[in-house]
């Protein structure tokens, strides 16, 4: 398989070695790398939201994250579900 996309900051030979190492790695290693990268990107996005909205509650930041990455409809559903759960825990609300 030929790769057409190249990293702008990686030498072509080094990138070739990286690709070959990934191809040779067991599925468990590739999965670990993918999950680790995902975790890093999600963490960076959440930290950026917290810096942009320092007064926001953790819940508000969670809902905003969902809104930005999954859409307003999903975020509204999450917000409604969280409010429903709050009411179920505290019936006096």
Annotate the chain with three-state secondary structure: CCCCCCCCCCCHHHHHHHHHHHHHCCHHHHHHHHHHHHHHHHHHHHHHHHHHCCCCCHHHHHHHHHHHHHCHHHHHHHHHHHHHHHHHHCCCC
Averaged pLDDT, 57-76:
97
Same structural domain, 59 and 83? yes
Q: What is the pLDDT of residue 2?
A: 62
Same structural domain, 18 and 32? yes
Of residues 89 and 76, which shows the higher confidence score?
A: 76
Q: What is the pLDDT of residue 10?
A: 84
Structural domain containing residue 41: 13-52
In a domain, 88, yes or no: yes
pLDDT band per the 50, 70, 90 thresholds, residue 51:
very high
Examine the pLDDT at 55 and tell me if it is beyond 70.
Answer: yes
Same structural domain, 69 and 48? no
Of residues 91 and 78, which shows the higher confidence score?
A: 78
Same structural domain, 72 and 92? yes
Same structural domain, 67 and 81? yes
């Amino acid at each position: 398989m030929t790769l057409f996309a190249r990293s702008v900051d990686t030498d072509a030979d080094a990138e070739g070695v990286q690709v070959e190492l990934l191809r040779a790695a067991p599925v468990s290693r590739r999965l670990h790398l993918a999950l680790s990268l995902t975790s890093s990107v999600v963490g960076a996005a959440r930290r950026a939201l917290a810096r942009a909205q320092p007064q926001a509650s953790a819940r508000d930041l969670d809902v905003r994250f969902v809104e930005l990455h999954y859409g307003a409809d999903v975020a509204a559903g999450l917000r409604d579900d969280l409010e429903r759960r709050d009411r179920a825990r505290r019936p006096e609300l």
